[in-house]
Structure 1
Amino acid sequence: AAAAAAAPAAAAGAAGAFVALLVSRLLSKPRRLLDLTAESSDGRHSHGPSAHGGNSYNESGRLKVPRVMQQAQPLSPSKVQNSELVQKFVLTGGPCGGKTTALARLRQFLEDRGFRVFIAPEAATILWTNGMSVADMKSEADVLAFQIRLMQMQIFLEDCFCSLAERTGKKSVLLCDRGTMDGKAYCTPDTWQSVLSKQGFNETAIRDSRYNAVLHLTTAANGAEQFYTSENNITRSEMPEDARALDERLQLAWLGHPRHTVFINSKAGFEGKMASLIAEVSRLVGLPATGRKARKFLLNDMPSEQDFTNAGLPTETFTVEKCYPLDVSALVGADDDGGYTYVRRRANQEGIASYGETRVRIENGQTIEFKRMLTDREYALALSNADPSRHIMRTKRTNFNWGKLTVYIERYVTPYPNLCILFVQAEPQLIGVELKLPSFVEKLIVEEVTGNKEYSAYHLSRADPSTVPSRRGSR
């Protein structure tokens, strides 16, 4: 693995000085251009909540700020990744998880299949290897300033590569070595909120709308301890227990992204981990793939918020609206045997939403999906063209992590109120194996319904009495 990654790593190192110089041009602009405390015409600071409580957001989920600050801000933190040509994936995870090797493997795999591949380097590594030092972090104010500049650099690099990838006119993949949400794992909650508010950002937009998928590679310190080392990264200093804690914080930082996948260290070894990663990316870009899939369980009720609190499990909750348009993707006569398209709106508890489209096609019995983000206007257009023979599905989704498992519970609001289905993202070796879940969840399980079309969203969306599920729990 080290040998396979040596060439790309060396190339990245050689390019480091150039990238650092390029980014310094952005970050060295006059203070007014990047003023984080710009004042409105009445003298009040423009960042943070208003004196009357609550914030005003524009259609892309970004806080509204005075015109002078809008003109000065060169970054696009909540830019919707809705390109037909470019997909953007984040590779994240704790130390020694295999990111460097994964970047090399994915690049080779995708280029061999005709994709252009671009890699946005890790902004933090550029800074740490070009003069920054831990000794510079003398106070929380220093950490705040660093995290703000780090996020601006990350956004600049990503947007630069995205723009250039678009100009090629070819199907491309941008692999990001970490993303905007990683900084949350390296600072206190108060500092993180300041990082967002001082720039007029909101968490849902910079997490859900910027990236098509988040791929988390679990640190070797969790499940492959004998392979954990810091020798192959000069910026790595964490002890194994620190690496495990950091890995968990990174998982929680990205919790809630609609396509957040965690790759664990299992008996299949490192090669098995890479195979699972490549299979997932294949599905994301529309290539045939097998392996990882969701297991589904019918619940007789929804766990209470207190259940999660008592178990010490952080959650992210969203309202989800799913619509099946008539012809938004030219899939005339689509069906669950040949393929179909759906669009969805996903909003957090503050009402900040992200939008997406999924095109599904069935080839030789294999399901292939292509996903992209949408703007609010694109979603509204698809919604106006909803298939009248299908329900618009509305659910409340609760996401949480349980050990090495990524889990969410979908409680239907319409058309089948209180139908509850548990989804567990499972590696191939966990298919058919009894899962150990929180006790308050296990007691609610009625039966496993993995592979049962009766409980697929596509089937449930049909406005036909015959599609009513035979069992809907105790309610």
Structure 2
Amino acid sequence: MSINKIVFTGAPCSGKTEVLRKLEKYYKDKIDCVFVCKEAASEVKKSRTEFLDMYDFQRAVYEKQIENENKIEEQIKDLADKNVLVFYDRGVCDGYSYVYDENRFFNIIGESRYTSFFRYDTALLFEICYENDYNKSNVRTEDYADALKLQDKIISCYVGHPHLRYIKSAQTFDEKIKRVIEEIDFILQEKEIEKKYLIKYPSYDDLMSYNPFICDISQTYLLSNLGSHRVRERRYKNESIYYETLKVRITPSECYESERIITKEEYYELLKSADPNKNTINKKRCCFLYKGKYFELDLFDFWDDKAFLEVELKNINEAFNLPERIKIIKDVSDDEHYKNNYLAGMKL
């Protein structure tokens, strides 16, 4: 049984709220329990409370968001024997898109943009609609140009989430719904399909042209008879999040993946079962969006001439564009000698 938490975000008039309404009905016939966490900002605006400034307003939105999320947590805590799907109409991270001073906002709410990522297993980022489809409302006051600027801020706030998927705009609402259902159905399979490329070590200018989110990862493999069992510390500035992951490979480029966030104490306890024949892999992960696909570029401390570029797909034949400023050496998706598990066993 599983609980999947998916946050919907995007610019005003990107269709996320309307899509969410349809999906709630669609998945109620397919999943044991479906919950929707309503958009907190709309609720706060409807209260007609007066606020000192945008920071004061976003503080109220944050408090309402936490209240709404806690109510859902109370409902799902006794559903361990059920398959549960939770949709969030925007998340805590969205508040950072509307303020200029990230540190000031952090001091107000006490939760960083980075740690807010991990409230949600997956983030679906909706591209704004086409200009001729854009319309204002009582709670949407931005014109199209302002909405586009806000979209850029939302993207910059969410890039770095470990599981981000970009939902491109579509000519029809039905087409957009279809795209979202394809993404969610794939997520629910708990499979990973990726293309992996060996690349030349990128120059600083080439890498920074993609405005990446950069974090540090320490990855340790554990003794296991089931598959690739590992723990990972993911660090950004002075904050760490810990994971336990089990991968069971189906094909060289596909695997079933079970992943959970663990406590620091659990992480260090699991490290006691580290495979003595494998090194801890240390790398810098650079995450960025390019033409609708989410890329992860890994720089290792034992290579100064090459690196890896990875992209997750819904199917192995899905079309996508490779970043033009990244120099590809070769596709190593099916080569076991370039799996992190293999590299960890080498004398580096």
Change (3 A) 1:271 1:361: farther
Q: Structure 2 vs 1, CA of residues 227 and 460 (structure 1 numbering), >3 Å: closer, same or farther?
A: farther
Pairing 1:249–2:156 present: no
**Aligned positions, number:** 346
For 1:165, give the aligned amino acid.
I
TM-score w.r.t. structure 2 length?
0.85
Alpha-carbon distance, 1:361 to partner: 3.5
Query: In structure 1, what is the equivalent of residue 168 of structure 2?
Result: 264
1:317 counterpart = 2:214: yes
Tell me whether 1:345 sits opposite 2:233 in the alignment.
yes
Report the Cα distance in structure 2 between the residues aligned to 1:109 and 1:359, rounded to whole angstroms: 30
**Residue identity matched to 1:181:** C
Aligned residue type for 1:107: E
**Do structure 1's residue 197 and structure 2's residue 97 form an aligned pair?**
no
For 1:108-155, what per-residue CA distance to the aligned partner results, in whole angstroms no more than 9, with x for missing partners?
Answer: 4543334311111110011122324xxx46xxx521111112112112
TM-score (structure 1 length as normaliser): 0.64
Query: Which of 170, 180, 190 is 1:277 aligned to?
Result: 180
Q: Which residue of 2 aligns with 1:4?
A: none
The alpha-carbon distance between structure 1 residues 285 and 371, as it changes in their structure 2 partners (threshold 3 A), is farther
Check conservation: 1:212, 1:373, Cα contact below 8 A. no
1:216 aligns with 2:115: no
- Gap change, CA 1:213 and 1:369, over 3 Å in 2: same
CA RMSD of aligned residues (A): 3.1
Cα separation, 2, equivalents of 1:258 and 1:118: 22
Shift of 1:287: 5.2
Contact 1:297-1:447 within 8 A present in 2 as well: yes
Structure 2 letter corresponding to 1:455:
Y
Q: Which has the higher contact order (CA 8 A, sep 6+)?
A: 2
Amino acid at match of 1:168: L
Q: Structure 2 vs 1, CA of residues 431 and 453 (structure 1 numbering), >3 Å: closer, same or farther?
A: farther
Q: Distance in 1 between matches of 2:163 and 2:33?
A: 22
Aligned-partner Cα distance in 2 for 1:200–1:98: 30
Instruction: Say whether the 8 Å CA contact 1:412–1:418 is kept in structure 2.
Output: no
Could you report, residue by residue, the CA deviation over 1:176-230 in whole angstroms, capped at 9, with x for unpaired residues? 1101110122122x2x3212113433332223x3222211111113xxx454444
Residue of structure 2 aligned with 1:296, choices 185, 190, 196: 196
Structure 1 or 2, whichever has the larger Rg, is 1
For the 8 Å contact 1:284–1:370, the answer to whether it is kept is no
Residue 280 of structure 1, CA deviation: 3.2
1:362 to partner: Cα distance: 4.8
Give the secondary structure class of the aligned counterpart of 1:265.
Answer: coil
8 A Cα contact 2:6 2:86, kept in partner? yes
Distance of 2:232 and 2:84 partners within structure 1: 24
Structure with the higher fraction of residues in strand conformation: 2
Q: Which residue of 1 aligns with 2:226?
A: 334
Distance 1:411 1:464, change over 3 A: closer
Question: 1:380 and 1:419, CA in 2 relative to 1: closer, same or farther beyond 3 A?
Answer: farther
SS in structure 2 at match of 1:261: strand
Deviation digits for residues 247-274 of structure 1, max 9, x if unmatched? 221111112111122111368x654543
Among 82, 88, 100, the alignment partner of 1:176 is: 88
1:49 corresponding residue in structure 2: none
In the alignment, what sits opposite 2:282? 394
Equivalence map 1:90-109=2 (5 Å): 90-109=7-26
The verdict on how the C-alpha distance between 1:367 and 1:420 changes in structure 2, with shifts beyond 3 A counting, is same
- The gaps in structure 2 that reach 5 residues or longer are none
1:355 to 231, 236, 242: 242
Check the 8 A contact 2:194/2:311 in 1, yes or no.
yes
Match of 1:454 among 334, 337, 340: 337
Matched AA of 2:309: L
